[in-house]
Amino acid sequence: MVENVIETEKLTKFYGERCAVYRVNLRVTKGVVYGFLGPNGAGKSTTIGMLVGCLRPSYGRVKIFSLDVFKHRIEVMSRVGYLPEKPVAYRNMRLEGFLEYMGRLEGLTRKEAREKARELLEFVGLGRLAVKKVGTLSAGERQRLGFAQALIGDPELLILDEPTSNLDPVARFEILSKIRLLASEKGVTTLISSHVIPEVGRVSDYVGIINNGSLIAQGPISDLIAQEEDEYLVRVSDPERLATRLLERDYILEAKFEGKDGIRLRVDVNNAHKLWVELPEVLTEEKLALYGFKPVGDPLERLFLRKVGVA
């Protein structure tokens, strides 16, 4: 039986008459990395605020580890690491001292907290800055420190709100790799909120898409994008002749020429398999040389754009 670490039921949040989140039913299973995608203002941070108990829902329930978050918040949050969108730390404390202090709040001994602080600073790439004060850090360094703080109690569940914001490309790659490492080696369940689709696709097993406060798609990425590879770039010796033949098929919705030997095909997602079968037959009949054939773009990005009504 699948074990849900996070489970919400009809989760709803109103601010006055404005509905920020409406009847959201999240299901995050144990051990997965769950990408929580949505445009800016879609309701991601509001949903996360309710997951960690910072915002009380107008309606609905939140369960983490099968416990009601608002009835068992201390017990639940002792097993959760949380990185808010804008991490907060005491500016006058040194990095090692700050993490040691947070470790003490988690119940570690002074020695354990100091050792854990040093270990995590190295893990997130801030080891060389251990004696610097928090207030002197760049925005990207503060983001790394926030990630280390989320890990201080060896959480079973990580909830990360825009964890790669303010990071340069190299740092983004490093942090995402560590998120994937924690899931694969330690079994840490992780929910990542983001609007950067390729990053989520790189590390996530499952994805949920929220727009205008409503959850409009949810499930394993592999299942959701199974029929999204509906655009292909075909390079052949005579693209005009190939286009003429393929446009006779009702599953070919559009053919656009690209360069001297390319055709971009848009295919009916429900019949895309026919292209794989019939393209070789057409090439053979027309005696055309095939130079290249590949899906176009990121299927997760196409799914996202289609679900939010952009594509």
In a domain, 275, yes or no: yes
Looking at the fold, whether 208 and 237 belong to one and the same domain comes out as no
Q: Domain residues for 160?
A: 4-218
Mean pLDDT across the stretch 245-267?
Answer: 92
Partner residues linked to 255 by β-bridges: 265
Residue 308: the pLDDT is 84
Residue that is written with structure tokens 């509905």 in the block: 19
Number of Cα atoms under 13 Å in the Cβ half of residue 132: 13
Claim to verify: residue 18 and residue 71 sit in the same structural domain: yes
The pLDDT mean for the chain works out to 91
| Percent of all residues in the chain with a pLDDT value above 90, rounded to a whole number | 73
- Cα angle: 304, vertex 307, 310; to 5 degrees: 80
User: Measured between alpha carbons, how far is 306 from 311 in angstroms, rounded to an integer?
Assistant: 5
pLDDT tens profile 71-118: 999 999 999 999 998 888 899 999 999 999 999 999 999 999 999 999
Domain-terminating residue out of 165, 193, 218: 218
Among candidate residues 218, 248, 273, the one where a domain is terminated:
218
Per-residue pLDDT at 311 exceeds 70: no
Identify whether 224 is part of a domain: no
Regarding whether 142 and 11 lie in a shared domain, the answer is yes
pLDDT band at residue 297 using 50, 70 and 90 as cut-offs: confident
Mean pLDDT of 61-70: 96
Is residue 229 over pLDDT 80?
Answer: no
Q: What does the DSSP assignment read for the chain?
A: -PPEEEEEEEEEEEETTEEEEEEE--EEETT-EEEEE--TTSSHHHHHHHHTTSS--SEEEEEETTEETTTSHHHHHTTEEEE-SS----TTSBHHHHHHHHHHHTT--HHHHHHHHHHHHHHTT-GGGTTSBGGG--HHHHHHHHHHHHHTT--SEEEEESTTTT--HHHHHHHHHHHHHHHHHH--EEEEEES-HHHHHHH-SEEEEEETTEEEEEEEHHHHTTTT--EEEEEES-HHHHHHHHTTSTTEEEEEEETTTEEEEEE-GGGHHHHHHHHHHHHHHHTPPEEEEEE-S-HHHHHHHHHTT--
- For residue 183, pLDDT beyond 60: yes
Do residues 282 and 209 share a domain? no
How far is residue 52's CA from residue 55's CA, in Å, rounded to a whole number?
8
pTM, 2 dp: 0.82
Q: Is residue 130 part of a domain?
A: yes
Same domain, 208 and 240: no
pLDDT in tens, 122-169: 999 999 999 999 999 999 999 999 999 999 999 999 999 999 888 888
Regarding whether 32 and 103 lie in a shared domain, the answer is yes
* Domain boundary pick from 184, 218, 252: 218
Domain assignment present for 223: no
Do residue 50 and residue 99 come from a single domain?
yes
Domain shared by 188 and 299, yes or no: no
**Structural domain tally of the chain?**
2
In a domain, 49, yes or no: yes
Is the domain of 210 the same as that of 244?
no
Same domain, 193 and 90: yes
Q: Could you give the count of Cα atoms lying within 13 Å of 164 in the half-sphere of its Cβ?
A: 23
Same domain, 83 and 117: yes
CATH of the domain at 85: 3.40.50.300
Predicted local confidence at residue 119, as pLDDT? 96
Are residues 268 and 187 part of one domain? no
Give 4-44 pLDDT, tens digit per residue: 999 999 999 999 999 999 999 999 999 999 999 999 889 99
pLDDT at 1: 62
